[in-house]
Chains A and B, each alone.
Chain A
């Protein structure tokens, strides 16, 4: 998506096991050509919610860099999972701390209907040059021809906005799988939000391990193809029956990959 826009992507690594934002690394990656920093919170695939203290420090560092380089640095905040929160946690937007922020939102997660494309971009309150920016965004929306939703979902939005899938059921599914997989010997953290678990693959090659699971009817996403080799991702949007059917397969797969694992 960054490449599609014509910009140059510059990566900053999130390090396991906690996958926190590394503010020093972000600042080191900034330069005179930096136009934006993309933040995804709650984060897919780690399930981290970045706390207000971290986002405030990020905003401070971006303001310093903007002053140094003579132009603002935008925060584009992907908040697709802002309402899929576990354990009564709360979400805070980077837009609360950085005036040059835009918030990307979707109803695909809250309604679990990703085929119905509906979301919006929100300008953070207090963004400088508001009128000029509104006009610019509107003209990009018209000229790109890609972003605008069909009419019917637009009409339905006021009714759809208040809907939310059964997050408590997703949380119970998370707890069931985290507990069972840990008992089997898998290493994984319990995500704070989103739909995803991120266990470490018990074999050196996560691709081979995922292929083994797939042979026995359990489909997971190999970490190798999402820039996280050594891990695999489990989506909790599966049905409860699928979870129960999969657990014996996970148990046998880790025994095969790592016979010393617990049973």
Chain B
């Protein structure tokens, strides 16, 4: 079964259905009457429309809006310190040479270490030259997509996913200010 609730959906006959631009609630007129859609790239407006409810919900949730909580299970943010050795690893990486903060496109010892580790973990032979350091997995995914897709290409992905989500309406928290404000007794 193929879901049909995406920004762009594909039916079982392989037809692509795109929403009409006027259907997109993320488009606004500015005060001076200029359409925002003429100022910002269309794909960015689509990204904003897809992600805004998720971030709006999370950023206005009690843990993110100053209201005390007894348990924060909202995101994968740490509630404890990183493993022993993490801070020390960063400390060991403080400047030791004049060019320490020079451009580092691909620090070869790091690529070698990652390749060796990945080879050991997966039992596949990775070369250091096949490792491209990024800002987390998000950077790696963006790098992969930008390398292989052209505008108009299709990318298939399983839903649900937190990584490539298209959010529904944001959640309206009943109270987002500091301090308790219970309206429902448990």
Q: A interface vs B, CB < 8 Å?
A: 1-15, 21-22, 25-26, 28-31, 33-40, 43-46, 74, 76, 78-80, 82-83, 91-93, 95-96, 102-109, 111-114, 116-125, 127, 130, 133-134, 136-138, 140-142, 144, 146-166, 195-196, 207, 210-212, 214-229, 233-239, 242-243, 245-246, 249, 252-253, 255-256
Any chain A CB within 8 A of the CB of B129? yes
A227 touches B57 (CB 8 A): no
Give the residues in chain B near A227, CB-CB below 8 Å: 5, 159-161, 165-168
**Closest B residue to A109 using CB positions:** B76
**Can you report 24 A-B residue pairs in the complex whose CB atoms are below 8 A from each other?**
A1-B145, A3-B43, A8-B153, A11-B9, A22-B158, A25-B2, A28-B2, A76-B144, A96-B123, A103-B118, A114-B78, A116-B90, A117-B139, A120-B132, A121-B132, A147-B135, A151-B104, A156-B90, A207-B172, A219-B61, A225-B57, A237-B76, A246-B73, A256-B186
Alpha-carbon gap, A129 to B172, bound state (A): 50
The tally of CB-CB contacts under 8 A between chains A and B is 468
Q: A147 contacts B157, CB within 8 Å? A: no
Report the Cα distance A38→B170, complex, angstroms.
25
Q: Are B3 and A144 in contact (CB under 8 A)?
A: no
B133 within 8 A of A: yes
Whether B149 lies near A5 (C-beta < 8 A) is yes
Give the nearest-CB partner of A102 in chain B. B144
- B165 and A122: CB pair below 8 A? no
Residue numbers in A under 8 Å from B111 (CB-CB): 120
**When the two chains form their complex, are residues B147 and A137 in contact, meaning their CB atoms are under 8 A apart?**
yes
6 smallest CB-CB distances across A and B, nearest first, come from: A104-B140, A159-B89, A106-B137, A117-B135, A147-B139, A246-B71
**Do the beta carbons of A10 and B156 come within 8 Å of each other?**
yes
B residues near A (Cβ < 8 Å) are 1-3, 5-10, 12, 14, 16, 43-44, 46-47, 50, 53-54, 57-58, 61-63, 68-80, 82-83, 85-86, 88-90, 92-94, 100-102, 104-107, 109-115, 117-118, 121-127, 129-175, 181-184, 186
Q: Nearest A residue to B95 by beta-carbon distance? A: A152
Q: Could you say which residues of chain A place their CB within 8 Å of the CB of B132?
A: 120-122, 137-138, 141, 147
- Asked whether B101 lies within 8 Å of A29 as measured between CB atoms, the reply is no
Q: Please tell me if the beta carbons of A235 and B73 are within 8 angstroms of each other in the complex.
A: yes
The answer to whether A211 and B137 touch across the interface, beta carbons within 8 angstroms, is: no
Which one of A130, A146, A156 lies within 8 Å of B139 (CB-CB)?
A146
With A117-B139, A122-B118 given, is the CB distance from A35 to B155 under 8 Å? yes
Main secondary structure of the interface of A (DSSP, over half): mixed
Nearest-CB residue, chain B, relative to A123: B130
Min CB distance B113 to A, Å, is: 4
A226 lies within 8 A of B117 (CB): no
A185 to chain B minimum Cβ distance, whole angstroms, is: 15
Are A122 and B164 interface neighbours, CB within 8 A? no
A158 in contact with B182 (CB, 8 Å): no
Q: A3-B7, A6-B150, A111-B86 are in contact. List 13 more A-B contacts (CB 8 A).
A: A36-B156, A38-B158, A76-B141, A104-B137, A121-B139, A147-B140, A155-B110, A159-B93, A227-B165, A237-B77, A238-B72, A242-B79, A243-B71
